[in-house]
Amino acid sequence: MQNKLNDLYEENIKTHIYSKSLLSAQIIDATQHLIACLLRGNKVIVCGDGRSYINAQCLVANLLNRYELKRPSFPSVLLSLDSAVGSTFVSDNTPEKLYQHQFNAIARSGDILVAFAPLGNENNVLNTVTHAVNKEINVIVLTGNSNDHIQGILTDKDLQIAVPSSKESRILENHLFIINSMCELIDFQLFSHS
C-alpha cells in the first residue's frame, strides 16, 4: 500500500511540474480575463458536471466569499444541478440543455463562462460552451489532454487550459490548483496594496 501511495504522490507531483511549464502563461492570461470582467462590473458564470461540479462550486465560493483575503464579493454564478430545476429538464428529456437554459437567462455581454470539461463526455457543459461562443460570450475551459471535444468550438478570444494528463483524478487535482491559483492572483492583483 505504501508503494501505491508513493506512486500517487509522484504522479501528482509530475503532473503539477509538467503543468507549470505548459500552463503558467495560460493561467495568467485567464486570470487577466477574469480581472477585466470583474472590473467592468460583469459576472463570472461557472459550470461543470460530475466530479468537476465540485471544482465549479469551489471557484464560485472563492469568488463570492473569499479565497484567503477578506474582500468584497465578486459577482459569480454557478449553473446548478439543483434537483428541482434539473428534474424539470430530465422530465422534458432535455437534460443536456439544463445549463444552456440557465446560461441564457443570466448571461450578458462582457460576462465570462468558466467551464470544466476534463474528459469530453460532459455534453451539458459542451452545449453551454458552444452556446456561449455563439452568443459571443468569452469562455475559459479547463480540460485534460484528451481535449478533442473542445477543438473547433472555441474562438481566438476564448481560452483553453489543458492539464497534461488523461487520468481524471490528476486532471481534477490540477483544476483545483488552477482555480486556487487564479483566485489568489486575482486577490494579489486587485488588493495587494491593501
Average of per-residue pLDDT across 163-180: 96
148: which DSSP letter?
A: G
Q: 96: exposed, middle or buried (C-beta count within 10 Å: 0-12, 13-18, 19+)?
A: middle
From CA 112, how far away is CA 42, in angstroms rounded?
8
Q: How much is the mean pLDDT over the chain?
A: 91
pLDDT at 70 over 60: yes
pLDDT at 90 over 70: no
pLDDT at 56 over 90: yes
Quote the pLDDT of residue 132: 96
DSSP assignments along 126-145, one per residue = HHHHHHHHHTT-EEEEEE-S
CB neighbours of 133 closer than 8 A, spacing ≥ 6?
139, 153, 154, 155, 158
Residue of 42, 28, 48, 64 lying closest to 137 (CA atoms): 42
pLDDT at 76 over 80: yes
As given in the structure block, the three cell numbers for residue 7 are 506512486
Q: Which residue has the cell 472555441?
A: 154
Degrees to nearest 5, angle at CA 23 with 129 and 50 = 45
The string of pLDDT tens digits covering residues 98-150 is 888 899 999 999 999 999 999 888 888 999 999 999 999 999 999 999 877 88
Quote the pLDDT of residue 87: 67
What domains are there in the chain, each with its CATH number?
2-191 (3.40.50.10490)
Dihedral of the alpha carbons of 137, 163, 121, 107, in degrees to the nearest 10: -20
